[in-house]
Amino acid sequence: MLIKNVIRNFCNSTKNLKVGDCISIQRKITEDDLKRFAELSGDMNPVHFSSNSNEAIVHGAFLNSLVSGVIGTKLPGPGTLVVSQNLNFPNKCFVNETIQVRVELVELRKLIKVKFVCEVERGNKVVMHGDAKLACK
Protein backbone atom coordinates (compact mmCIF):
# COMPACT_ATOMS: atom_id res chain seq x y z
CA MET A 1 0.00 0.00 0.00
CA LEU A 2 2.81 2.40 0.81
CA ILE A 3 4.27 2.11 -2.71
CA LYS A 4 0.88 2.82 -4.34
CA ASN A 5 0.51 5.90 -2.12
CA VAL A 6 3.98 7.11 -3.12
CA ILE A 7 3.14 6.67 -6.81
CA ARG A 8 -0.20 8.46 -6.38
CA ASN A 9 1.56 11.31 -4.58
CA PHE A 10 4.05 11.57 -7.45
CA CYS A 11 1.30 11.61 -10.06
CA ASN A 12 -0.39 14.43 -8.17
CA SER A 13 2.92 16.28 -7.82
CA THR A 14 3.44 16.68 -11.58
CA LYS A 15 1.84 20.10 -11.00
CA ASN A 16 5.19 21.11 -9.50
CA LEU A 17 7.06 20.21 -12.70
CA LYS A 18 7.64 22.79 -15.39
CA VAL A 19 9.10 22.86 -18.86
CA GLY A 20 12.81 23.56 -18.60
CA ASP A 21 13.33 21.60 -15.37
CA CYS A 22 16.69 19.89 -15.70
CA ILE A 23 18.86 17.55 -13.66
CA SER A 24 22.27 16.02 -14.24
CA ILE A 25 24.48 13.41 -12.66
CA GLN A 26 28.11 12.42 -13.20
CA ARG A 27 29.55 8.95 -13.18
CA LYS A 28 32.89 7.37 -13.99
CA ILE A 29 32.30 4.13 -15.88
CA THR A 30 34.68 1.45 -14.64
CA GLU A 31 35.88 -1.83 -16.10
CA ASP A 32 33.96 -3.60 -13.32
CA ASP A 33 30.75 -1.78 -14.42
CA LEU A 34 31.26 -3.12 -17.96
CA LYS A 35 31.91 -6.68 -16.77
CA ARG A 36 28.86 -6.70 -14.50
CA PHE A 37 26.60 -5.22 -17.19
CA ALA A 38 27.87 -7.74 -19.77
CA GLU A 39 27.12 -10.60 -17.40
CA LEU A 40 23.66 -9.24 -16.63
CA SER A 41 22.73 -8.48 -20.25
CA GLY A 42 24.52 -11.40 -21.88
CA ASP A 43 26.22 -8.96 -24.31
CA MET A 44 29.75 -10.34 -24.47
CA ASN A 45 30.64 -8.58 -27.73
CA PRO A 46 34.48 -8.37 -27.83
CA VAL A 47 34.37 -4.59 -28.44
CA HIS A 48 33.44 -4.24 -24.77
CA PHE A 49 36.57 -6.14 -23.67
CA SER A 50 39.82 -4.87 -25.13
CA SER A 51 43.30 -6.06 -24.16
CA ASN A 52 43.95 -2.38 -23.44
CA SER A 53 41.13 -1.75 -20.96
CA ASN A 54 40.94 1.96 -21.85
CA GLU A 55 39.86 0.97 -25.38
CA ALA A 56 36.85 -1.08 -24.24
CA ILE A 57 33.65 0.49 -25.57
CA VAL A 58 30.78 1.02 -23.12
CA HIS A 59 27.50 -0.71 -24.02
CA GLY A 60 24.94 1.74 -25.42
CA ALA A 61 22.32 -0.02 -23.32
CA PHE A 62 24.41 0.73 -20.23
CA LEU A 63 24.37 4.45 -21.06
CA ASN A 64 20.62 4.23 -21.61
CA SER A 65 20.20 2.54 -18.23
CA LEU A 66 21.85 5.55 -16.58
CA VAL A 67 19.33 7.84 -18.30
CA SER A 68 16.52 5.55 -17.18
CA GLY A 69 17.79 5.75 -13.61
CA VAL A 70 17.61 9.56 -13.69
CA ILE A 71 14.12 9.53 -15.25
CA GLY A 72 12.75 6.99 -12.77
CA THR A 73 14.24 8.46 -9.61
CA LYS A 74 14.88 12.17 -10.14
CA LEU A 75 13.12 13.82 -13.12
CA PRO A 76 10.22 13.31 -13.46
CA GLY A 77 10.78 10.67 -10.74
CA PRO A 78 9.05 7.68 -9.12
CA GLY A 79 6.00 6.38 -10.96
CA THR A 80 7.35 7.35 -14.39
CA LEU A 81 7.08 4.85 -17.24
CA VAL A 82 8.90 5.16 -20.57
CA VAL A 83 6.40 4.95 -23.45
CA SER A 84 8.81 5.57 -26.34
CA GLN A 85 12.42 6.56 -26.74
CA ASN A 86 14.83 7.69 -29.48
CA LEU A 87 18.56 7.08 -28.98
CA ASN A 88 21.54 8.37 -30.96
CA PHE A 89 25.20 7.42 -30.43
CA PRO A 90 27.39 9.96 -32.30
CA ASN A 91 30.64 8.96 -30.53
CA LYS A 92 32.05 6.00 -28.63
CA CYS A 93 32.21 6.02 -24.85
CA PHE A 94 35.22 4.21 -23.41
CA VAL A 95 35.71 2.56 -20.05
CA ASN A 96 37.22 4.83 -17.37
CA GLU A 97 35.63 7.95 -18.88
CA THR A 98 33.52 10.18 -16.66
CA ILE A 99 30.19 11.07 -18.20
CA GLN A 100 27.55 13.62 -17.37
CA VAL A 101 23.94 12.51 -17.88
CA ARG A 102 21.53 15.43 -18.29
CA VAL A 103 17.73 15.12 -18.57
CA GLU A 104 15.50 18.10 -19.36
CA LEU A 105 11.70 18.33 -19.33
CA VAL A 106 10.58 19.75 -22.69
CA GLU A 107 6.83 19.11 -22.75
CA LEU A 108 4.27 18.55 -20.03
CA ARG A 109 0.95 17.22 -21.30
CA LYS A 110 -0.81 13.90 -20.94
CA LEU A 111 2.54 12.39 -21.96
CA ILE A 112 5.66 14.02 -20.56
CA LYS A 113 8.49 14.58 -23.05
CA VAL A 114 12.14 14.81 -22.01
CA LYS A 115 15.36 15.17 -23.92
CA PHE A 116 18.65 13.82 -22.63
CA VAL A 117 22.34 13.80 -23.36
CA CYS A 118 25.31 11.78 -22.11
CA GLU A 119 28.52 13.70 -22.52
CA VAL A 120 32.08 12.74 -21.69
CA GLU A 121 33.46 15.26 -19.24
CA ARG A 122 36.89 15.40 -20.92
CA GLY A 123 36.55 17.06 -24.33
CA ASN A 124 32.78 17.66 -24.19
CA LYS A 125 32.17 14.63 -26.42
CA VAL A 126 28.50 13.63 -26.77
CA VAL A 127 28.26 9.82 -26.61
CA MET A 128 24.47 9.50 -26.53
CA HIS A 129 21.51 11.83 -26.93
CA GLY A 130 17.82 11.46 -27.54
CA ASP A 131 14.34 12.01 -26.25
CA ALA A 132 11.60 10.04 -24.57
CA LYS A 133 7.87 10.18 -24.02
CA LEU A 134 6.84 9.27 -20.50
CA ALA A 135 3.65 8.42 -18.69
CA CYS A 136 2.83 8.61 -15.03
CA LYS A 137 1.51 5.38 -13.55
Residues in CB range of 95: below 8 A, 6 or more apart? 29, 30, 31, 33, 34, 53, 54, 56, 57, 58
Structural domain of residue 100, as residue ranges? 2-136
Domain count, the chain: 1
Q: Give the pLDDT confidence of 52-110 residue by residue, as tens digits.
A: 666 899 999 999 999 999 999 999 999 999 999 999 999 999 999 999 999 999 999 99
The model's pTM is 0.85
CATH number of the domain where residue 104 is located: 3.10.129.10
